[in-house]
Chain A
């Protein structure tokens, strides 16, 4: 009985030692990958940060309206944020690569899915950034045009333009990320439809007089009258 226990224990220890000997190189590889990944991620971050500063990315982000958003939520500058994001994604990628070397069943599929998801994440970020840039550009263009045309409530018009573009961009971003596609599609459809209906009702019923005045000034009132109000600049 005693010999049997000792034998089982010895066998278990041997198997543990064999298993440890089997996993140790993989563990070391994982640690090396994690360490190398950290170094590479750090270098990538430094290079990216330098490049973004060189192309004045913060200015672009400011134009896109992203800087104001970051400032309000006490986040660092756009350049720093992109640098940190790329650092963590790169390092996480290396760590997951290391974990996959361990050969743990069940994790492999998740890791593969993560790597497949990365391009979508970057495309979504790209769309989001340029979408915000477009929203800011067109809302400012609407604001300037409305102010110079003496249209009432120019800021509301500008906000409406920005909201429509941002809603459109968000729907594309969520679709790209594959998150709640159906919900987003329905939500976007409802929100967009409601907005258009609201505008139609507001302009047609609520602002009946305004609409009449606007149309009269646009099409009935002679252009000459408008010009006589303002001296010719040239």
Chain B
């Protein structure tokens, strides 16, 4: 877990170097880590239940969570739905690997001070040494565009 926190910190710091305009998303939800389905969301949410994303104005996404560190390109629709497709370092309880990442999400109901409601289902495939890991997560939260 400490490794995950350090990697998340590196991701956040790296995002600030490239950030000029975009959105920062914080979502909560349990991840499927290759050991069956998901556990219920912890209350309050634990570190494993948190997903963090930074989206640039060019629709480039930097994502960090317990399921991996990924870079993706976002294709948005006018009604608030979007698909993200990219790749990165993927991990779950059974191993670590590099592979594709995809997310299906919806953003709506923007409030000026809090941000927009955001729900997202993300999935990834990590090809490692002798293993194929397939984590996923369903998360709900907010994205604040600035």
Do A and B interact? no
